[in-house]
């Protein structure tokens, strides 16, 4: 089968990391988000993926110049202007000449939901579209989807107040669509699949859904971006956190490495160290990802954080629950907490305290 992956958004919630790169090109445990999404599709038999591009499309083309990720062939469909979700899907599908049932996935969702089961329901029900559902504690930030016992969608309610939601099952951003759905989408104009197309399908009795309690995470915020990495390192996905990662028993419990690292004398636990990273003696790293070529100097503490490739955290600094962008520098004795986000190539002066701040280069 073929799939359309929506990757056209600007990733504003992850700024300043996304000022220079689309969010799907950001690393999740040392592998880009888009590689993880396409790998997931490949495991479900997808051979061809259409990337629906808008923001910084050249980043994808430059990263995958042979138009492949693994064994999956890529087609690039660049929107001439923002077309919203349905418009983007239709533009990409038409550009790729899709003429049979196909998957659609949001490019910032990491999940272990079984697409084979979703496709089986789609075929057995005769639906025009079938969507995957996942349970959440607070459904008010999502599209709530009540269904009948056989899976027919009763309504598609976008972001209801928490105390008015009829169910906690939300749209998981994974769909099977028939080509006929494209006929409902006017070319060249902004159309929302959640607010316009799905309600129309409900009215026609043509929308079905299948719930799943498998792992699912929208990685579009700094909090969830950090969680995605911690979940992989902690083994919550049931696989190694990176294709090249191996456990290094001599460095500490549950410490993964993707290549040669320097970490003699450091106190390490439940973390991933990228190839070429340096963790100096006296440093403490817990529940974190240290990117390739990053340097953690002596007496630094890094907990529940991501230090991206090429970054440096200088001596006696502390980084907790935060993201240090690629090539950036955290100065000596800095304290970085509260889901702070330090952008690419930024420099945080020695002795600075950050608590939930966003820092970009030159600021």
pLDDT at 165: 84
Question: Please, which pLDDT band fits residue 273 given cuts at 50, 70 and 90?
Answer: very high
Give how far Cα 135 sits from Cα of 108, 164, 171, 217, Å: 18, 16, 9, 11
Q: Does residue 231 form part of some domain?
A: no
Question: What's the pTM value of the predicted model, to 2 decimals?
Answer: 0.93
My answer on whether 247 and 162 are in the same domain is no
The residue from 220, 254, 276 where one domain ends is: 220
Q: What is the pLDDT of residues 5-37, one digit of tens each?
A: 999 888 899 999 999 899 999 999 999 999 999
My answer on whether 7 and 86 are in the same domain is yes
pLDDT at 137: 86
Neighbours of 286 (CB within 10 A): 16
The answer to whether residue 274 scores a pLDDT higher than 90 is yes
The residue from 220, 255, 274 where one domain ends is: 220
| Cβ-proximal residues to 80 (8 Å cutoff; 6+ apart), any chain | none
pLDDT at 163: 78
My answer on whether 33 and 114 are in the same domain is yes
Question: Please, which pLDDT band fits residue 215 given cuts at 50, 70 and 90?
Answer: very high
Would you list the DSSP string of 74-140?
EEEEE-SS--HHHHHHHHHHHHTT--S-EEEEETTEEE---HHHHHHHHHHHT-SEEEEEEE-S-GG
Would you list the DSSP string of 154-184?
---EES--GGG-S-SEEEEEEEEE-GGGGGG
Q: How far apart are CA 3 and CA 92, in angstroms?
A: 10
My answer on whether 245 and 125 are in the same domain is no
Q: In the predicted model, what is the mean pLDDT of the chain? A: 94
pLDDT at 164: 80
Report phi then psi at 186, rounded to 5.
Answer: -65, 125
My answer on whether 106 and 204 are in the same domain is yes
My answer on whether 123 and 165 are in the same domain is yes
Q: What's the structural domain count of the chain?
A: 2
My answer on whether 245 and 215 are in the same domain is no
My answer on whether 47 and 196 are in the same domain is yes
pLDDT at 140: 81
The answer to whether residue 143 scores a pLDDT higher than 80 is no
The answer to whether residue 117 scores a pLDDT higher than 80 is yes
The residue from 193, 220, 247 where one domain ends is: 220
What's the average model confidence in pLDDT over 138-164?
85
What range does the domain containing 342 cover? 237-359
Q: Does residue 279 form part of some domain?
A: yes
Question: Please, which pLDDT band fits residue 183 given cuts at 50, 70 and 90?
Answer: very high
**CATH classification of the domain holding 241:** 2.160.10.10
My answer on whether 142 and 210 are in the same domain is yes
């Amino acid at each position: 089968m073929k799939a359309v992956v929506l990757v056209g958004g600007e990733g504003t919630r992850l700024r300043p990391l996304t000022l220079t790169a689309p969010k799907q090109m950001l690393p999740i445990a040392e592998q880009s988000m888009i590689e993880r999404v396409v790998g997931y599709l490949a495991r479900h038999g997808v051979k061809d993926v259409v990337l629906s591009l808008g923001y910084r499309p050249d980043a994808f083309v430059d990263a995958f110049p042979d138009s492949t990720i693994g064994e999956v062939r890529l087609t690039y469909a660049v929107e001439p202007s923002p077309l919203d979700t349905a418009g983007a899907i239709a533009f990409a599908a038409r550009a790729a000449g899709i003429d049979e049932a196909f998957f659609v996935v949001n490019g910032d969702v990491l999940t272990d939901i079984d697409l084979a089961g979703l496709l089986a329901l789609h075929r057995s029900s005769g639906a025009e579209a079938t969507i995957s559902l996942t349970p959440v504690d607070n459904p008010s930030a999502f599209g709530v989807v009540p269904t009948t016992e056989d899976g027919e969608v009763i309504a598609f309610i976008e972001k209801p107040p928490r105390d008015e939601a009829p169910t906690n099952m939300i749209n998981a951003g994974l769909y099977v669509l028939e080509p006929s759905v494209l006929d409902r989408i006017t070319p060249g104009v902004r159309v929302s699949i959640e607010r316009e197309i799905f309600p129309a399908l409900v009215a026609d009795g043509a929308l079905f859904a299948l719930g799943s309690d498998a792992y699912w995470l929208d990685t579009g915020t700094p909090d969830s971006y950090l969680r995605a990495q911690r979940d992989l390192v902690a083994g919550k996905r049931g696989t190694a956190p990176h294709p090249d990662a191996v456990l290094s028993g001599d460095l500490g419990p549950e410490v993964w490495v993707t290549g040669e690292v320097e970490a003699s004398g450091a106190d390490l636990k439940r973390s991933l160290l990228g190839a070429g990273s340096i963790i100096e003696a006296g440093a403490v790293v817990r529940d974190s990802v240290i990117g390739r070529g990053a340097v953690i100097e002596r007496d630094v503490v890094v907990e529940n954080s991501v230090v991206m490739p090429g970054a440096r955290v200088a001596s006696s600094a502390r980084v907790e629950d935060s993201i240090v962008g690629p090539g950036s520098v955290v100065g000596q004795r800095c304290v970085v907490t509260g889901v702070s986000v330090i952008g690419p190539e930024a420099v945080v002066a020695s002795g600075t305290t950050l608590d939930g701040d966003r820092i970009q280069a030159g600021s």
